Amino acid sequence: MMFKRTLRVLITMILTLALTTGLVLAMTEDANAATVSMKTIPSTSAKADSRVVNAFVELGFSVKYNKNLGYAGVFSVADHVIYLKSKNKTHALHEMGHFVSRLQNGADETSEFVKIYKSEKKKYNGTQKSYITKNSKEYFAQSFAEYTQNPSKLQKSRPKTYKYVKAQVDTIEQQDVDNMYSAYGWAW
């Protein structure tokens, strides 16, 4: 158990170095068509905040593809996986938004966020509006994807949502990772 945690910390350090030198997570299938690997992609491509990526890696999560998946994506704490039906950055970031909420102790269900969701969900004008705005969890996840891909657009169209998502990302720290690891120890 200690070895696995030490290995995760080492991988996190390597990933942080890679992110700060222009490498970002890119969704590319390996020979088994089941993992996400590192690849240089243009700096204009959307990438998750390094704190989010570091927590994701340290906690041992991965991304796997399943063309038979009933949804575009699924986040599973028990499996430590984001399952994706296809290589789609927005879907990957949406599922990463569910991870961020879980990491931040249910950020998508707080009374503060539910109020924001109720006041700004009508302003959402992206795809799959009925699905994205059906509850605060899906709204948060999609808002995280938008925050990652085009923060200024989110800030302009839904400023309260932007501010809340930004605060969740900006306050990620090692204690959050440790808390999630402790809370879901049964899954590790």
Q: What is the pTM of this model?
A: 0.77
Top-confidence residue, 6 or 75: 75
Residue 46 has pLDDT above 80, yes or no: no
Contacts of 83 (CB under 8 A, 6+ apart): 63, 64, 65, 66, 69, 73, 74, 76, 95
Local confidence band at 25 (pLDDT 50, 70, 90 cut-offs): very low
Strand 81-84, strand 62-65: pairing: parallel
Fold classified for 2-187: Collagenase (Catalytic Domain) (3.40.390)
State residue 23 phi and psi, 5-degree precision. Answer: -95, 140
Q: What CA–CA distance (Å, rounded) separates 57 from 60? A: 5
pLDDT tier for residue 185 given thresholds of 50, 70 and 90: confident
- Which ranges in 21-88 belong to alpha helices (H)? 50-58
* Pair 103, 55: CB distance under 8 Å: yes
Where in 20-138 does DSSP place strands (E)? 23-26, 37-40, 62-65, 73-76, 81-84
Break the chain into its structural domains and give their ranges: 2-187
CA 115 – CA 109 distance, rounded (Å): 10
Checking DSSP bridges between strand 62-65 and strand 73-76, what pairing results, if any? unpaired
Query: What per-residue confidence (pLDDT) applies to 66?
Result: 84
Answer whether 52's CB lies under 8 Å from 172's CB: yes
Q: For 127-180, what is each residue's pLDDT tens digit?
A: 899 999 999 999 999 999 999 999 999 999 999 999 999 999 999 999 999 999
At 19, is the pLDDT very low, low, confident or very high (cuts 50, 70, 90)? very low
What does the pLDDT look like over 53-85, one tens digit per residue? 999 999 989 888 888 878 888 998 888 899 998
Q: How high is the pLDDT of residue 139? A: 98
